Amino acid sequence: EVQLVESGGGLVKPGGSLRLSCAASGLTFTKAWMTWVRQAPGKGLECVGRIKAKVHGGTTDYGAPVKGRFTISRDDSKDALYLEMSSLKIEDTAMYYCTTENMGGFDIWGQGTLVTVSS
């Protein structure tokens, strides 16, 4: 069964840092382009950023609201995706999903991990 499982969410103070993880199984992770998508409470979906497969350069792209504060990385030996978040703001409060990008769509989604930024 293809599965993505996020972890690492929690409560953090403004200005703090947090590291999210996404464990993949049932797919060829080394070939997967991985994206983090977030959803603030009661709001819509927003692309946080993406990392390409190493065979395609392994490069990253970030959305404007998080550029310079968030870093996406991957460990293909562990089938794992990471999102390092720093200088967190209240507006970063959201459910964070990892997802696979395939032919112009996001076809596999995890269940999400909730990040709450509050003092």
Partner 1 sequence: QSALTQPPSASGSPGQSVTISCTGTRSDVGGYNYVSWYQQHPGKAPKLMISEVSKRPSGVPDRFSGSKSGNTASLTVSGLQAEDEADYYCSSYTGSLYVFGTGTKVTVL
Interface contacts to partner 1, rule CB under 8 A: 35, 37, 44-47, 49-50, 61-64, 97, 101-107, 109-112
Report the 3 state secondary structure along the chain. Answer: CCEEEEECCEEECCCCCEEEEEEEECCCHHHCEEEEEEECCCCCEEEEEEECCHHHCCCEEECCCCCCCEEEEEECCCCEEEEEECCCCHHHCEEEEEEEEECCEEEEECCCEEEEECC
Report in angstroms how near the CB of residue 44 gets to partner 1 at its nearest: 5
Of residues 27 and 47, the one with the C-beta less far from partner 1 = 47
Question: Rounded to the nearest whole angstrom, what is the least distance from the CB of residue 30 to partner 1 in the complex?
Answer: 22
CB of residue 45 vs partner 1: minimum separation in angstroms?
A: 4
Task: Give the nearest distance from C-beta 32 to partner 1 in angstroms.
Answer: 15
Q: Which is nearer to partner 1, 73 or 111 (CB)?
A: 111
Rank residues 75 and 107 by Cβ distance to partner 1 and give the closer one.
107
